[in-house]
Structure 1
Amino acid sequence: MKRQASKTINIEPQPKVCKPCNSEDECPSYGSQNYWEDRYKNNYGNDVNHKKEEQEGEAGFSWYFTYEELSPLILPLVLGRDEEEDEDWSSDEEEEVEEEIEEIEEEEIEEDENIAQDAEDIEDDVEGEDDTTQLLPTLKKMDGKAPAKVLEIGCGDVPLGNGLCEQLLTMEQNSNIKLKDVVESIICFDYSKACIDILQKIQSQQTQKKDSLQVDYKVHDARKLPYESRTFQLVMDKGTLDAMLADKVEGRGNCVKIVSEAARTLAMDGYILIVSHLNANNAEGYDWANDILSTGLKSGDSDCNWQIEVHGNDVEEENDNEDDENETEDDDESKNYGPAVYICKKVAKRNKDNECKVGMKFLGY
């Protein structure tokens, strides 16, 4: 997998760091279907309206990020990104890559010079004003494109898809465009029937307008999906792959299968969004991106190329002491990089005879 440099951008707000477990000894059986069935039943009981207090791992807890925190990344993947964000950076020529890196370095220098001024501008904003609303795309029909279909893997009891649906419905109220002309469906699934039963019951108690967009909750196994190839414009996963890795025997193989199915069912020019505590800015995360993510993408669809953006914390080095020149892998592992968001785009090959290529670039917050 080719690793490419990229300029640094700011992503707000800062994440709430939360790993599924802190050590192998205390890690529950997150890779077991029975574990999730029992947990959802215990957390909710017979009354979905009375959940336990939201604590890590309990009912209603949102792992890593909430939808509101991820919205600036997710919404453009559904409604369309800026051309600059979707530029073709999968060049096969080394000279072009070197020129691109030089340009990026120049941009980084210029950007660093503007950081102080940007900070002052933020402080001058009116207190309580939500600046992110000015950055969100507007609800509009995509010329020549069918309405988008969205799929969420292992949605749990706090689905990203539900947050997306609610935000889109709010945007529809301020637009003269019908939402279903833009987004056809949002499917959220989990392999825990108890979880899906809870979500469906909650949904049935909510008042919704006739023919309005609503989430379709289903029970599926992410390793073998009942959908045709190249169906969805966006496939999302937040923490499912991490949970599967708790199974030390079959976890890695299951993760490759899940990524493969996500890649297979993703439409051309569509996106897979993955949130993981494995951050490719360090050695462990980069190995995961190569061994599981890249392998799964190629396995699911090799008649294309893949572009991976890694949105994560690129921790700065602190070398105040001259004796710290000899760094080890332990130094890298001891740093808290926090969770990362991977945005994988399926793109057409420049030459159909070429093998499937996976490129990666890093964007920091």
Structure 2
Amino acid sequence: MVASTSLDVVPDDPTAYKTKEYWEERYQNEDADTTFDWFKTYEELQPLLNEHIKNKDSSILILGCGNSTLGEDMYKDGYRNITNIDYSKTVIDNMKERCGDTPGMTWLEMDIRDLKFDDESYDIVIDKGTMDALMCDRGDVWEPSEELIAEVKGEVDEVVRVLKVGGAFLYLTFGQPHFRKRHLQRDCWEIKTTTMGEAFHYFFYSMVKQR
């Protein structure tokens, strides 16, 4: 596998990160075996994930998987019920081919704001930077636009719907609590925050659905 580090894939306009067109073009222009992990690798996240995922038979949904190795690495570590979704057909096709014969792990083309799953289908939902792409906007970070609020609400509402009671939503971001918690707040859970890193901080938000 080839790690993606080229600045050629960085858009001139960061709002491109929230468009399907940008990701399709990016994945079409990259080698099929290219990988890229936002923020942290599985090895770095493993202690936190192990803390929240007690059973390796848990049904796990990874939102906006891209060409990250997260799903593969979790599979190699013994998790056997993983669904990876992305709205780029190209990257889903590439990942299916790259991962080959992995019984119990699936790759589906799907929008995170319109999940095609039944209510209470998953024990764990993971977002590693996908919501951050949705939040790329030219507006004031302190006063996000109504459009941005609606798009993020669409994701979180769908997560709540497909999570089982007792299931957890795990979200890794560079977004500080005063920018992210307003979007994550729901009556059915409490938000717990773990800070990662030293010079530059990342934030791991965990939310367990209580009802």
Identity fraction in percent: 27
CA contact (8 A) 2:122 2:164 kept: yes
Q: Which has the higher contact order (CA 8 A, sep 6+)?
A: 1
- The Cα shift of 1:28 comes to 5.2
**Aligned residue for 1:240?**
130
Unaligned runs of 5+ in 2: 1-10, 139-144
- The Cα shift of 1:148 comes to 2.0
What is the letter of the counterpart of residue 73 of structure 1? L
- The Cα shift of 1:201 comes to 1.3
Is 2:189 the partner of 1:306?
yes
Question: d(CA) in 2 for partners of 1:264 and 1:153?
Answer: 14
Aligned length: 194
Is 2:151 the partner of 1:254?
yes
CA contact (8 A) 1:165 1:213 kept: no
SS at structure 1 position matched to 2:158 = helix
* Residues 56-71 of structure 1: pairs in structure 2 closer than 5 A: 60-71=35-46
CA contact (8 A) 1:310 1:341 kept: yes
Over 3 Å counting, the alpha-carbon distance change for 1:151 and 1:314 in structure 2 is closer
**Aligned residue for 1:293?**
184
What is the letter of the counterpart of residue 263 of structure 1? V
Per-residue CA shift, 1:312-355, capped at 9, x if unaligned?
1598xxxxxxxxxxxxxxxxxxxx6511011111124xxxxxxx
What is the letter of the counterpart of residue 242 of structure 1? D
Over 3 Å counting, the alpha-carbon distance change for 1:235 and 1:159 in structure 2 is farther
Is 2:202 the partner of 1:339?
yes
CA contact (8 A) 2:172 2:205 kept: yes
* Residues 178-193 of structure 1: pairs in structure 2 closer than 5 A: 183=80, 185-193=81-89
- The Cα shift of 1:69 comes to 0.6
Larger Cα-atom Rg = 1
**Aligned residue for 1:38?**
25
SS at structure 2 position matched to 1:258 = helix
Per-residue CA shift, 1:135-176, capped at 9, x if unaligned?
xxxx6xxxxxxx42110100010142221111116xxxxxxx
Question: d(CA) in 1 for partners of 2:51 and 2:127?
Answer: 16
Question: d(CA) in 1 for partners of 2:131 and 2:180?
Answer: 11
Superposed CA RMSD: 2.4
Is 2:61 the partner of 1:151?
yes
CA contact (8 A) 2:119 2:161 kept: yes
What is the letter of the counterpart of residue 231 of structure 1? S
Is 2:114 the partner of 1:224?
yes
**Aligned residue for 2:3?**
none
Is 2:59 the partner of 1:72?
no
Question: d(CA) in 2 for partners of 1:165 and 1:77?
Answer: 16
- TM-score of the superposition, structure 2-length normalised? 0.82
Unaligned runs of 5+ in 1: 1-23, 52-59, 81-138, 140-146, 170-182, 281-285, 316-335, 349-365
Residue 165 of structure 1, aligned match among 65, 69, 75? 75
Question: d(CA) in 1 for partners of 2:121 and 2:15?
Answer: 34
Structure 1 stretch 154-163 or stretch 237-246: which is displaced more? 154-163
**Aligned residue for 1:278?**
175
CA contact (8 A) 2:167 2:208 kept: yes
CA contact (8 A) 1:312 1:339 kept: yes
